[in-house]
Structure 1
Amino acid sequence: MEEKMNIYIPEYVNKIIYILESNGYEAYLVGGCVRDNIIGKKPYDYDVATNATPKELETIFRDFKIVDIGKKFGTITVVMKEGQVEVTTFRIEDKYIKGRKPMDVKYISNLTEDLKRRDFTVNAIAYNPKVGFIDPFGGINDLKLRTIRCVGDPNERLKEDYLRILRVVRFATQLGFTIDVQTANACAKFSSKLKDISKERIRDEFIKILLSDKPSYGIRLMKDLGILQVILPEMIPAIGFDQRNPHHDLTVFEHTLEVLDNAPKVLEVRVAALFHDIGKPYTFKLDENGIGHFYGHEKTSVEITKEVLTRLHFSNELIKNSLVLINEHMNYSKDLNKKYVKRQLQRIGYDNLNNLIDLQIADKLSKKGDKDLSYFEEKRRILREIVEEPYLRNHLNVNGDDLKALGIEEGPLLGEILDYLLEVVIENPKKNNKSDLLEIVKRKYLKN
C-alpha cells in the first residue's frame, strides 16, 4: 500500500476546516476517516480535531445547527445538510473510573499530545490538506503491515478503558489485520476485566464483529485471547467437541464458525448461526453403533441463547427473531409443497422464513458431503409464489362481523370458525371469497 499525499475530503467537511483556519485555529481530520482513506475505504463519518475550545467552537459555528451533548468532553457536532461533523478540542484525559471512562478532560494546544491518548496507532493519524499527515506513532506503517497496535504501552492503554480489549478484536476483524504481539499479550492479560464493562458496550462491539466480512476470525481471536470465556462461556464446551456423526467432519465449534461465515450480513441470521448448535454438547448421545446424536438440541440452544442475549441486553425483537430461527433450523419436509411452506409462513412470518432459508443454506454448506441447494431454491420459489395468497386470519375475505351477521355469537366459536376457514383457503386459495366462505359456515355450523 502506497502512502497517499492527500486524501478525499467532502466539501462540507472542507468547509469546517476552512472556517476554523479562517478564525486562526488549527484543524485536522483525525481517527477513522483518515485511516479508512489511507486503506482505500469510504469513511462513514468525519471527525475534526482543533485547538479551539468548546466555547470558542460555539461562537465560531453560531450560525450553524450544533449539538453539544459531548461538550463536557470537548466535542460539539456541527449539523450540515450533507452530513454531521464532530469537532473536538485537543485534549488529554484525566484518570479513568474503573477502567471505563475518564473522570475529566483537560484542553491542550498540542496535537501530538491529543493523538497520544488514542487507542491504536491506526486511529492516531491526523491530516490537514496544507500540512499533510501527522503520524507520531507509526500508524501509517502499521496500516501497511496490516497490524493493530496500541499507542504506547498497551498495558496502560487497556487499563484506561478495558473495552479496548474487545475493540482490538473488532478492528482486527473488520480490517482483516493481525494483532501486534505486545498488544495481544496485554489483551490476554486483562481479558477478565471485561466482566466489569457494561453489557451494552460489549454488545455493541460484539455486533460489529458478527457483521464483519469474516466474523469467524473475530470469534477465534476472542477464544485465543481468553475473551470468549469471559463474555460467552456457554460457547466453551463446543470447542473441540467431536460430533461423532457421518454428516459432520468438524467439531461443533468449527462447524459453527463455518456457518457463521456462510450466513448473510443480517444480524438475526448471524446471531442464530453463532448459537444454533450451542446446545449440542449438552444433548449428545451415542447410539449402539457409536454414532453421535443431538436430539432436541435446538430447544436447548434456544434456552441458552435466550439467556446469553438477555444478559448482553440485546433488544427483545432481536432475541425473539433469533430464537425463532434457532428453533426452526432443523425443520425440513420430505414432501416440500405449498401447504407446508404456508404453514411455516403462518407460524413464523415472511422475514423470519426468508432468514431461516438463509440460515439453513449456511448450515448445509458447512456440513460434510452433498452441497445440493435445490431444496432451498424450491422452497424460496414456493414462498415467492404464495406471498399473495392467504395464510393468516386477516387475509380471509370474511371477518368476525360477517359471522355475527349470520347469528354466531361472540366467543371461542368465532375464532374456531375463522381458523377452520383459514385451513380451507390454505388448501384451496380460490375459496377465499365471501360467498363461498359464508356458505361453508352455513353448511358446517348452521345446519339447524
Structure 2
Amino acid sequence: MQFNIPDYVEKILEKLEKEGYQAYVVGGSIRDMLLGKNPKDYDITTDAKPFELEDIFSDFKTISVGKEFGTIIVCQEEGNVEITTFRQEGNYLDGRRPEWVTFSRKVEDDLSRRDFTINAMAYNKKVGIIDPYGGREDLKNRIIRTVGNPEKRFSEDYLRILRAIRFATELKFTIDKPTFYAGRKCSSKISNVSMERISDEFFKILLSKKPSNGIRMMEEMGILEMVLPELIPTIGFDQRNPNHNMDVYNHILCVLDNTPPIIQTRLAALFHDIGKPSSLTIDERGIGHFYGHDQIGAQTSKMVLERFKASNDLRDKVYLLVKEHMNHHADFKEKGLKRLIRRMGEKEIFDLIDLQIADIKCSNEKATIDHIVERRKRIEEILEKEEAYEIRQLAINGRDLLDLGFKQGPIIGQVLEYLLDRVMDKPELNEKDTLKKLALDYIDKK
C-alpha cells in the first residue's frame, strides 16, 4: 500500500535516506491516512542521532524541542516536521518522563514505546507499512488498545487514560476491555498530570462530533470525578419539573451534543445547568424550580476554568454565556436586544442563541424554538442595518462634546450613554447635529 505523502515531507525522508539513514513517517499521520483522512501534520522517525540531524538539515531552519530525547523540528514554508531518533526508554518514575533514554537502530524499538496500536505504525515507500502491534486490524475493528501491558503503559503517562477516551470519542471507537479496566484502575492517578495537559485533552473531547460519548466514558472509567467533580451531583438528579423529561446530567449532555463545536459554546453547554442540584426548591404542587442556577453555573464555570488554566478571554465568554442562557424567557424590545448585543458582543450573541436553541430542544418534545429563531432574525437585522448599540457607533464622540463646551470628566461618559440610549430607541437620531442638540438639551434639563 502506498500513501500520498506531501512533497515537503518526502523531501526530508529522501534527504535522510540519501545520507544512509532509515526514515519513516510515523504515528498519527499513518493512522489518519489509513482512515482516509488528511493528516494535519507529519512526524518522522529515523536512526540518525540528534547531532547528525542538525548537520543533515543545517541548511534548514530547525528547532530543538528535546535534543536529549532525540527530537528536532525542521521548518519549511509548507509546514513543520518533527523528527525523532529511534529510541528505547527506561521505567517512568514520575508518570511523565523515563528514567533513561537510549537511541536505537531499529524502528521496532521506537514503535514499542508508543501509546496505542493505532499510533504505533511506520511507513516509507521502500518498506511499506511496519505494523508490529496490529494497528491496522484495530483500526478495522474500531478498537483502542495499548501497545503491550495497558497498566504499564498508563503508568508511564497517566494522561494516556484520557487520550484513550479522546481517541475513542473522536473516532467513534471502542476501548478494548483490558485497556478500559486498566484505565479505570489507574484513574485516580490522573491527578499527577498537569492541569494544562488534562484540559487540552478534555477540550478536544468537548469539540468532537458527539462529546457526550467521551463524558460518559470518563464517568464509567472514574476519570470524570477526578477532572470535573462538579458535574457528578447532576448524575441521576430528577428535575421534578414537567418542562424537563431528562435528569440534569442527561439534559446537559444532550445540550452539549446539540451545540456547534465552538469551545466557549460547548463549555457553556457543560456548565449551563450545573448549578441546578444546589438550587432546587419544591413548590406546594411538588414542582421543582431552580432559581439562580444560572448565576451558580456562571460562577462554577469561572472557578473550574481557572483550575483548567484557561485564558481569561475564554473564562469571560463562558461565564457570560452561562449567566445569560435563561434570558430566552425574556420579551426583549429593540432596545433590550441592542443592550444584549452590547453585553455579549457581535459573535458571542449568536453563540448564546445556539446554546439556547439546544437547551430548549433538550427540554421536552413539546418545547418550541420559534421565539429564539425570531430573535436571531431581529439581531441579524440590527447588525445588518448597523444600528448603534455601542458608544463607538454614535455619530458623535467625546471630542465633539468637549468642542461643545463640556468639561473633561465623568459627564462626558454620562452624556454619551444618554445619547446611546436615545439612539437605541430611535436609530434615525444618530446624526451628528441632532446628537449635539440632544446633548445640550440634556445638560439644560440637568
Q: For residue 298 of structure 2, what is the aligned residue in structure 1?
A: 302
2:53 paired with 1:86: no
Q: For residue 391 of structure 2, what is the aligned residue in structure 1?
A: 393
Alpha-carbon distance, 1:104 to partner: 3.7
Aligned residue among 247, 269, 290 for 1:251: 247
Aligned residue among 194, 202, 205 for 1:206: 202
Alpha-carbon distance, 1:153 to partner: 0.3
Q: For residue 339 of structure 1, what is the aligned residue in structure 2?
A: 335
Check whether the contact 1:91–1:106 (CA below 8 A) recurs between aligned residues: yes
In structure 1, what residue type is equivalent to 2:353?
I
Check whether the contact 1:283–1:295 (CA below 8 A) recurs between aligned residues: yes
2:413 paired with 1:411: no
Check whether the contact 2:280–2:290 (CA below 8 A) recurs between aligned residues: yes
2:28 paired with 1:32: yes
Alpha-carbon distance, 1:353 to partner: 0.7
**Cα distance in 2, alignment partners of residues 314 and 292 from structure 1:** 34
**Cα distance in 2, alignment partners of residues 215 and 85 from structure 1:** 30
**Cα distance in 1, alignment partners of residues 439 and 71 from structure 2:** 68
Percent identity between matched residues is 51
What SS is found at the alignment partner of 1:98?
Answer: coil
What SS is found at the alignment partner of 1:48?
Answer: strand
In structure 2, what residue type is equivalent to 1:377?
V
**Cα distance in 1, alignment partners of residues 108 and 214 from structure 2:** 31
Alpha-carbon distance, 1:87 to partner: 1.1
Aligned residue among 101, 116, 120 for 2:116: 120
Check whether the contact 2:235–2:250 (CA below 8 A) recurs between aligned residues: yes
Q: For residue 143 of structure 1, what is the aligned residue in structure 2?
A: 139
Give the aligned length: 444
In structure 2, what residue type is equivalent to 1:301?
G
2:428 paired with 1:430: yes
In structure 1, what residue type is equivalent to 2:140?
K
In structure 1, what residue type is equivalent to 2:343?
R
In structure 2, what residue type is equivalent to 1:8?
N
Deviation string 1:9-44 (CA, Å, 9 cap, x unpaired) is: 111111111111111111111100000101111111
Deviation string 1:173-210 (CA, Å, 9 cap, x unpaired) is: 11110001000001000100011111101011111101
2:438 paired with 1:440: yes
Q: For residue 169 of structure 1, what is the aligned residue in structure 2?
A: 165
TM-score normalized by the length of structure 2? 0.97
What SS is found at the alignment partner of 1:279?
Answer: coil
**Superposition map of 1:38-437 within 5 A:** 38-332=34-328, 335-387=331-383, 388-437=386-435
Check whether the contact 2:328–2:372 (CA below 8 A) recurs between aligned residues: no
**Cα distance in 1, alignment partners of residues 172 and 206 from structure 2:** 13
In structure 2, what residue type is equivalent to 1:435?
D
Q: Which runs of 5+ in 2 are unaligned?
A: none
Check whether the contact 1:404–1:410 (CA below 8 A) recurs between aligned residues: yes
Check whether the contact 2:25–2:45 (CA below 8 A) recurs between aligned residues: yes
In structure 2, what residue type is equivalent to 1:404?
L
**Cα distance in 2, alignment partners of residues 141 and 444 from structure 1:** 77
Check whether the contact 1:333–1:340 (CA below 8 A) recurs between aligned residues: no
**Cα distance in 1, alignment partners of residues 74 and 280 from structure 2:** 57
In structure 1, what residue type is equivalent to 2:399?
D
What SS is found at the alignment partner of 1:350?
Answer: coil
Deviation string 1:264-320 (CA, Å, 9 cap, x unpaired) is: 010000000011100000001111111111111001111211111111111111000
Which stretch shows the higher mean deviation, 327-336 or 259-268?
A: 327-336
**Cα distance in 2, alignment partners of residues 215 and 404 from structure 1:** 54
In structure 2, what residue type is equivalent to 1:254?
N
Check whether the contact 2:328–2:356 (CA below 8 A) recurs between aligned residues: no
Which stretch shows the higher mean deviation, 152-161 or 5-14?
A: 5-14
**Cα distance in 2, alignment partners of residues 371 and 242 from structure 1:** 19
In structure 2, what residue type is equivalent to 1:399?
N
Alpha-carbon distance, 1:72 to partner: 2.1
What SS is found at the alignment partner of 1:436?
Answer: helix
What SS is found at the alignment partner of 1:314?
Answer: coil
Alpha-carbon distance, 1:438 to partner: 1.2
What SS is found at the alignment partner of 2:24?
Answer: strand
**Cα distance in 2, alignment partners of residues 338 and 372 from structure 1:** 22
In structure 2, what residue type is equivalent to 1:209?
I
Check whether the contact 1:28–1:50 (CA below 8 A) recurs between aligned residues: yes
Check whether the contact 1:73–1:104 (CA below 8 A) recurs between aligned residues: no
Alpha-carbon distance, 1:331 to partner: 0.6
**Cα distance in 2, alignment partners of residues 252 and 289 from structure 1:** 20
Deviation string 1:360-415 (CA, Å, 9 cap, x unpaired) is: 11111111023533322222222222121111112111222222233322233222
**Cα distance in 1, alignment partners of residues 332 and 405 from structure 2:** 40
**Cα distance in 1, alignment partners of residues 359 and 319 from structure 2:** 16
In structure 1, what residue type is equivalent to 2:182?
A
Alpha-carbon distance, 1:129 to partner: 1.1
In structure 1, what residue type is equivalent to 2:184?
A
Alpha-carbon distance, 1:334 to partner: 5.0
Which stretch shows the higher mean deviation, 6-15 or 237-246?
A: 6-15
**Cα distance in 1, alignment partners of residues 77 and 414 from structure 2:** 55
What SS is found at the alignment partner of 1:69?
Answer: strand
**Cα distance in 2, alignment partners of residues 444 and 47 from structure 1:** 67
Check whether the contact 2:274–2:297 (CA below 8 A) recurs between aligned residues: yes
**Cα distance in 1, alignment partners of residues 100 and 329 from structure 2:** 61
Check whether the contact 1:324–1:352 (CA below 8 A) recurs between aligned residues: no
Check whether the contact 1:247–1:368 (CA below 8 A) recurs between aligned residues: yes
**Cα RMSD, aligned residues only:** 1.4
What SS is found at the alignment partner of 2:433?
Answer: helix
In structure 1, what residue type is equivalent to 2:355?
L
**Cα distance in 1, alignment partners of residues 73 and 398 from structure 2:** 54
In structure 1, what residue type is equivalent to 2:421?
E
